[in-house]
Structure 1
Amino acid sequence: MACTVRGKPVVIHPAFYAAGIILVAVIGFLIFYHVDPRVHYAIFGASDDTNIVNGIPGLSVRPRITEAGKSETLIMYNSRDKNSYMRWVDALDDFLKEYKNPWLSHGRMENIHNCDFRYPPPPGAVCEIDPRAFGPCISENHYNFHRSAPCIFIKLNTPTGWIPAYYNESKSLPEVMPGYLRSMITAQESSRPDQLNTVWLSCEGEMPADAENIGPIRFLPIAGFPGYYTKNVDVAGYLPPIVAVMFERPTLGVLINVECKAWAKNIQHDRDRLMGVVHFELLID
């Protein structure tokens, strides 16, 4: 190929073009090969999976099935129809497979650590998440979908470097925090103060009618994410912490709008931008 420089023709050999194409391909391959999809490389802007906005943690809901013409925030099924509820059970099985099988996550087997509030993960390690802690919200029970008391899993997505400022004393609890959560934290302050370093979780009906129809809710294993799960999020094998939320007696045949929030002093709640908040709907026949 020829081009003109200062009025003089210059011939560019095709080999230069070939070399350039090869170089770009090699760089792209190296970037793709070395990027761990579980590491939060970009923390500005949200995705459907992470909901991390401007460095503020976000929440995600599972199960989720995306279909044409239907909102992916709607969890709708017939508890008397196995084909109807098993779609959601299968989606949860697929989501939880990495939590159940550590070898499926790159680096998890080598880096896994048995954490608790006294023993957070050391540098280079990630915390084990035991699926048995979610019982009765387990696959063998169909996550209670067939009993019209479904278990919905909430995942906390935290950006790299974020350190939670805990609500770990009753005098600092905000008035807008749900009363049941404030009562629980206050009781735990007396009985188990060593476990107060937690990013708390609440789930409620959005509107008064939703609050009437949502029924009692149970959080498993606890109503929040222990703080040690927010450490080392950039280490290979890290999986975001999850909580099972069991809706024990929701009103059947009624659309219920649910809003869940993560609670820490440095988590902002913004419904429009999904900061610290997640919304979904339940419709069970």
Structure 2
Amino acid sequence: MALNTFYKVLVGVVVTVVVILAIAVPVALLCCGDADRQTPGLNAVPGGNILIKEGDPESGKAYIEKITSFLKPYMEMSKKTEVINCNSTVRPQGNQVCDYPESFLSHCGRSTNFGFNRSTPCVLLTLTMDESFRPTPYENLHELPKDIPRDLLADMEEDLENGKLRKGIWVDCNNDYLYSPKPLFPDYYYDNVDAEGYLPPIVAVMFKLTSKKNQDIRVECRLWAKDIDSTDQRSKVSFTLRLDGE
């Protein structure tokens, strides 16, 4: 009898643990989502379904708080001694990492609440790379595929340096947008990804929704580089925007 009771208790404990895990794992996935991943690939903050209401600042509050929290480590970078201002000729060495000043966010900065109170919400894109995912940048216009988006091609042509493309991984989103600082993750940000305090660069994308009220706007942002497989989920990120109003 005592043995049967023991097994009943044991079975009860196992069932309880399984139920807790079944609940906890989906909740954790819903909580964090793609935007909080640090695994290689393109990510968006905030991500998922983004809903705001025209004339209602409270509707954007959660998104503003999420972006503010995400940016906190970036805002503290300048206090560290190993942080430098990088460009195509000044690259990180040793334990150095590239700074990402807030001014790069431009119209998507904290002073505008990231556009959420103006019906022009901003989404921050980051690209994390390591040895398992390290696309090769295009070097000139002749290497571009025929299906390159026209708007991205125009941005590339405007940004040529001595006839060559700026080195880095380009990104394009399939909707009305405005990029800050530009639709490019510069290659020098990836020279020292293992250094302490390293943070990936950000491309901020502002979406103008005032002419698209009360409809779900599905956005897909995609990386463009020499050897990216368009079916590789790490090379793209999707989210939905909606502005409710009269």
SS at match of 1:110: coil
Moved over 6 A (4+): none
Aligned to 1:63: 46
C-alpha change, 1:237 and 1:101, in structure 2 (3 Å) is same
TM alignment of 1:80-99, pairs within 5 A: 80-99=55-74
Q: 1:136-171 deviations in whole A, cap 9, x for unaligned?
A: 111121111111111110010111486542112111
TM (norm. structure 2) is 0.78
1:50 match:
38
RMSD, aligned α-carbons: 2.3
Q: Is the 8 A contact 2:36 2:45 kept in 1?
A: no
Alignment identity in percent? 30
Is residue 104 of structure 2 the alignment partner of residue 121 of structure 1?
no
What is the count of residue pairs matched by the alignment? 210
Give the structure 1 partner of residue 22 of structure 2: none
Partner of 1:247: 207
The CA deviation string for residues 240-273 of structure 1, in whole angstroms up to 9 with x for no partner, is: 1111001134511100110001111133222xx5
- Work out whether 1:283 is the aligned partner of 2:242: yes
Which deviations, in whole Å up to 9, do the C-alpha atoms of 1:10-58 show, x marking residues without a partner? xxxxxxxxxxxxxxxxxxxxxxxxxxxxxxxxxxxx9960353xxxxx1
In proportion to residue count, which structure has more helix? 2
**2:116 is aligned with what amino acid?**
F
Question: Unaligned 5+ residue runs, structure 2?
Answer: 1-33
SS in 1 for 2:81: helix
Aligned counterpart for 1:227 among listed residues 187, 192, 203: 187
1:145-164 aligned within 5 A = 145-160=116-131, 164=135
Deviation at 1:117, TM superposition (A): 0.9
Query: Structure 1: 5+ residue runs without aligned partners?
Result: 1-45, 53-57, 65-72, 205-213
Amino acid paired to 2:172? S
**More divergent stretch after superposition (141-150 vs 94-103):** 94-103
Larger Rg over CA atoms: 1
For 2:233 and 2:136, locate their aligned partners in 1 and report how far apart those are by CA, in whole Å.
Answer: 20
- Aligned equivalents of 2:200 and 2:102: distance in 1? 13
For the residue of structure 2 that corresponds to 1:278, the secondary structure is strand
CA distance in 1 between counterparts of 2:134 and 2:223 reads 14
Following the alignment from structure 1 to structure 2, what is the Cα–Cα distance between the partners of residues 173 and 194? 12
Preserved CA contact (<8 Å) 2:35 2:44: no
TM-fit CA distance, 1:112: 1.0
| TM-score after normalising by structure 1 | 0.68
